[in-house]
Structure 1
Amino acid sequence: MSHNIKILPGATVCEDCTLEGDITIGGGTVIHPRVTIIAEGGPIIIAEYCIIEEYSTIIHKKCDDQEVPPKPLFIGAHNVFEVGCRLESTFGHVGESNLFECRCFVGVDVKVGSGCVIGAACHLTAPQTLTDNTVIWGSEHHIREALEKQPSQLLQLDFLSKVMPNYHRLRKPNVHKRPPSARQSQSQETSPKP
């Protein structure tokens, strides 16, 4: 499996994690040590401002149907994967602002919308679609609708991005914003100012 790891500026990615396949990590995202991300069924694109904690696993599984071309797995912004959770997916999308609590498991036949909470140690294996703002909790996998939006993790992200370099070796961003081309900068200089 070839490795094509793209880390955007502002991402904090510990060196002590396993990244295999074609993976893009968005700016502001924090990946703790001992995380495993494997893109075997196509690229994985992790949007900005996600938190992926220790011993979490994200696997983009190969589809059984060989005729279907591989699609990227897109993980939306502001998702939190707590310690030891596991997401296996063959689908192309996980929504935004979801909370995957400690040691939860989300199987390949589960689609996750936005604003969902999968409770600690809940195991979702049956084919299902979690509509936006679904909360699943307890050993009986109770389901209800969230009463309020998930709180922002921006303060925690800011704290982690400042503290983690003191305790862990980090991978450096390897995708840089391109400077404007000569043609673009000339057109900006010659355009009339209001």
Structure 2
Amino acid sequence: MASGRDDEQMRHADDENTGDITIGPGTVVHPKATIFAIAGPIVIGSGCIIEEAAIIVNRRKEVMRVGDNNLFEIGCRVECPSVGNFNTISTRARVHHTVRISNYCVIGAACLVVPTDDETLDDYTSIFGPAAERRIWSGRGRIQEADLRLKHAEYLREMLPKFNRLRRGDGA
């Protein structure tokens, strides 16, 4: 039975992880999420939510760092070497390995972010639409978004153990 404590990470027996992967406390990895540390290690911060069918890949030799309280929605694919804090990668979005994501960024549903040169997204960047248009978010509602994300993680830590086999985050 899962205790749902915030200081524990929660992974499912069905998730696929390969390579040197460190997952922080309070992070929830959904069933069928895939995390591949192919060339270098992946370090995922605390309080992240990695939803079903999300794919996180590190193809570089450097450490891929994912900050705290990020949301990786269903079917997204992230290969960027750096993800800041409080970012949302929406359903079926894809972020290429030439991109570095700062803080409070939103990559919209089905958006492709695949620049040919290395690029760092500024804080509060929002990418949206079929043409992957960009704008800078004012930051209004940031606190409400953070509260909602905390409630989302809390709910998942409570409900998922009831319907899925768990593997505790103590390296087991």
Same fold (TM over 0.5): yes
Which residue of the partner structure matches residue 146 of structure 1? Answer: 137
Which of 30, 33, 48 is the matching residue for 2:31?
A: 33
Residues 175-190 of structure 1: pairs in structure 2 closer than 5 A = none
Q: Which amino acid aligns with 2:124?
A: N
Which of 163, 170, 173 is the matching residue for 2:169?
A: 173
CA deviation profile, 1:81-127 (whole Å, cap 9, x unmatched): 000000013x3x21000000000000011111110000000001113
Which of 96, 101, 108 is the matching residue for 2:85?
A: 96
Q: CA deviation at 1:173?
A: 2.4
Size of the aligned set, in residue pairs, is 159
Where 1:97 maps in the other structure, the secondary structure is coil
Q: Partners of 2:134 and 2:123 in 1: how far apart?
A: 12
Q: Can you give the 5+ residue segments of structure 2 that lack an aligned partner in the other structure? A: 1-5
Residues 9, 173 of structure 1: 8 Å contact kept: no
CA deviation profile, 1:24-73 (whole Å, cap 9, x unmatched): 111100010111100012110100000000100000003xxxxxxx3211
Which residue of the partner structure matches residue 49 of structure 2? Answer: 51
The alignment status of 1:119 with 2:108, answered yes or no, reads: yes
Which residue of the partner structure matches residue 129 of structure 1? Answer: 120
Q: Partners of 1:26 and 1:20 in 2: how far apart?
A: 17
Q: CA deviation at 1:9?
A: 5.0
Where 1:157 maps in the other structure, the secondary structure is helix
Which residue of the partner structure matches residue 159 of structure 1? Answer: 155
Q: Which amino acid aligns with 1:112?
A: I
Which residue of the partner structure matches residue 3 of structure 2? Answer: none
The alignment status of 1:82 with 2:78, answered yes or no, reads: no
Q: Which amino acid aligns with 1:169?
A: R
Sequence identity of aligned pairs in percent? 37
Which residue of the partner structure matches residue 20 of structure 1? Answer: 18
Residues 57, 85 of structure 1: 8 Å contact kept: yes
RMSD between superposed Cα atoms in Å: 1.5
Q: TM-score, normalised by structure 2?
A: 0.88
Q: TM-score, normalised by structure 1?
A: 0.78
Q: CA deviation at 1:15?
A: 1.0
Where 1:165 maps in the other structure, the secondary structure is helix
Q: Partners of 2:64 and 2:99 in 1: how far apart?
A: 13
